[in-house]
Amino acid sequence: MLKNRIIPCLDVKNGRVVKGINFVDLKDAGDPVEQAKIYSDGGADEICFLDITASNENRDTIYDVVEKTSKKCFVPLTVGGGVRSVEDINKLLNCGADKVSINTAAVQNSKVVVESSKKFGSQCIVVAIDAKKNGEKWEIFTHGGRNNTGIDALEFAKKMEENGAGELLVTSMDRDGTQVGYDIDLMLKISSEVNIPVIASGGVGNLDHLVDGIKLGNASAVLAASIFHYGKYSVKQAKEYLNSKGIPVRI
Amino acid sequence: MNVTIVDYNSGNISSVINSFKEVAKDKVNIKVTSDLNEIKSSDKIVLPGQGSFKSCVDALNNINGLVDVLNEFAVNNKKPLLGICVGLQMFADIGYEETETKGLGWIAGKVSKIDNQNGKYKLPHIGWNQIKIVKDSKIFKDIENNSHMYFVHSYEFIPNDNSVIVASTDYSSNIVCAVEKENIFGTQFHPEKSDKIGLKIIDNFINF
């Protein structure tokens, strides 16, 4: 039986781990390579790095972090943030990333998803959808949540599946950093709309939120940052809790 | 001992390289090349594969003489070869991803899309799934039955002769996830991404 995945996410800026509240007011909390190793030793099913301010700043530090991490962690490594082109994807994969998540570029130029999934295979192309509720629908935000595009998140999700995305990483901008739980409606709507796996993200504050993301939101995987990062829970605790709630996990 | 990872432009092989180097340490020499002479003189070969069946077969054929050298190595000389993911799938006679494409024909069978039961199951089959070991294999030494391995694929290898199957996994149907035919080994899952237990499989292949 396929297991639901728990994916700790590390937000990285200038080669250091940070985690912001609603993407601003960042706190420094450590070395990403060491942190990733702790997660993979603790049973993380995948590791995710998001180079959060990469859209605006020099991002070469992330390549070094990815290269070092991939020599120490032997679970899948997803890297996103500031990925603009097929060449950027190529470079991250060559450094040892297993999947690359594309956000702004996927919205601005859908060819990037089409071309990269053809070139490298859908298995390594994750499209990151940052969505915010507006009335009855959700709209896509880009540039680390700063720009509203007005694009409908559900329509966009379907289009990305057609374009060759292997997975969707769906983040609720309303919930990110708030610790009040995933936007379950958003997760469920997108997950029902597409046939590719959905990774739920944004808003986890306790272990029941992870359970809800899978049971109610129908997510294949759950991503969280702060609850693991600040040591509130370990990945192992999270897995044991999910297991006790009848969710299949790798233990 | 020389183990060569065949670098034929089949997408991202850095994780395969990292994992084999981690396991080999200084005891075994891990080479990464498409050089035909180096491949010929290797003791064991690893054939990775990412992307589509067609793109991998095309990439093999794009290197002049490579398929002949692989045939000589695995079929005539019967030296050990491990295919990973699409590397395993290419053992088949034929694959149906993108378009009908001829495989290496080492293990009779075909590669077809996994039946997702009308959308009931998500594709790709991504994540950790347990393997049912149905037959002893050198690559499964000290590997417990029902161990978790990391999968990411939408197509499955269906061999004509079930006796080559050494492990399977349950998803929308029973999926072949490891094969062995004499000197030819293959895993549909990614040992290089399957944590310590995956590294053990790599260790088994390198050191048997």
> Is the pLDDT score of A165 beyond 50?
yes
- Tell me the backbone φ, ψ of residue B89, rounded to 5 degrees: -55, -35
Q: What's the CA gap between A128 and A144, in Å, rounded? A: 10
Q: Residue B115: what pLDDT?
A: 96
Pick from B97, B114, B101, B113: which is nearest to B169 by CA? B114
Contacts B127 to A, Cβ<8 Å: 2-5, 45, 197, 220-221
Mean pLDDT is lowest, of A30-39, A124-133, B116-125, for A30-39
Asked if A76 has any chain B CB less than 8 Å from its own CB, the reply is yes
Q: Residue A57: what pLDDT?
A: 55
Instruction: Calculate how close chain B gets to A136, using CA atoms only, in Å.
Output: 26
Tell me the DSSP string of chain B: -EEEEE-SS-S--HHHHHHHHHHHTTTSEEEEE--HHHHHT-SEEEE---S-HHHHHHHHHHSTTHHHHHHIIIIIS---EEEETHHHHTTSSEE-SSS-EE---SSSEEEEE---TTTTS-SSEEEEEE-EE-S--GGGTTPPTT-EEEEEESEEEEESSGGGEEEEEESSSEEEEEEEETTEEEESS-GGGSHHHHHHHHHHHHH-
**Residues of chain B in Cβ contact (below 8 Å) with chain A:** 11-12, 14-15, 18-19, 22, 50-52, 55, 116, 119, 122-130, 148, 150-154, 170-171, 192-196, 198-199
Beta partners for A51? Answer: A12
State the average pLDDT for chain B: 96
Average pLDDT over residues A95-124: 93
Q: Residue A21: what pLDDT?
A: 42
Average pLDDT over residues A151-165: 97
Average pLDDT over residues B102-117: 97
pLDDT digits (tens, 9 = 90+) for A184-215: 999 999 999 999 999 999 999 999 999 999 99
A249 HSE (CA, 13 A, CB side) = 27
Q: What's the CA gap between B68 and B45, in Å, rounded? A: 14
Q: Residue A26: what pLDDT?
A: 44
Mean pLDDT is lowest, of A170-174, B9-13, B92-96, for B9-13
Instruction: Calculate how close chain A gets to B77, using CA atoms only, in Å.
Output: 32
pLDDT digits (tens, 9 = 90+) for B149-169: 999 999 999 999 999 999 999
State the average pLDDT for chain A: 91
> Is the pLDDT score of A227 beyond 70?
yes
Binary contact (A120, B195; C-beta < 8 A): no
Estimate the crossing angle of helix B14-24 against helix A86-95, to 10 degrees. 10
pLDDT digits (tens, 9 = 90+) for A21-67: 444 444 555 788 988 998 999 999 999 999 976 555 566 889 999 99
Mutate to test the interface with B, among A74, A120, A218, A222 (most CBs of B within 10 A): A74
Mean pLDDT is lowest, of B11-20, B156-165, B194-203, for B11-20
Which of A85-89, B48-52, B178-182 is most confident?
B178-182
The answer to whether residue B192 is catalytic is yes
Report percent pLDDT > 90 for chain A.
75
Asked if A245 has any chain B CB less than 8 Å from its own CB, the reply is no
Average pLDDT over residues A75-85: 94
Give A241's contacts (C-beta < 8 A, 6+ positions apart).
A207, A210, A211
Query: Is the Cα torsion angle A213, A170, A120, A75 positive or negative in sign?
Result: negative
Average pLDDT over residues B41-50: 96
Asked if A220 has any chain B CB less than 8 Å from its own CB, the reply is yes
Kindly indicate the confidence band of residue A20, based on its pLDDT and cuts at 50, 70 and 90.
very low
From B14, B125, B151, residue closest to A94, measured CB to CB = B14
Binary contact (A3, B128; C-beta < 8 A): yes
Kindly indicate the confidence band of residue B197, based on its pLDDT and cuts at 50, 70 and 90.
very high
Mutate to test the interface with A, among B12, B113, B114 (most CBs of A within 10 A): B12
Residues of A belonging to the active site: 11, 130
Q: How far is CA A148 from the centre of its chain?
A: 19
pLDDT digits (tens, 9 = 90+) for A4-18: 999 999 989 888 888
In this structure, the number of other CB atoms found within 10 A of the CB of residue B26 comes to 5
The model's pTM: 0.95
Q: Residue A17: what pLDDT?
A: 85
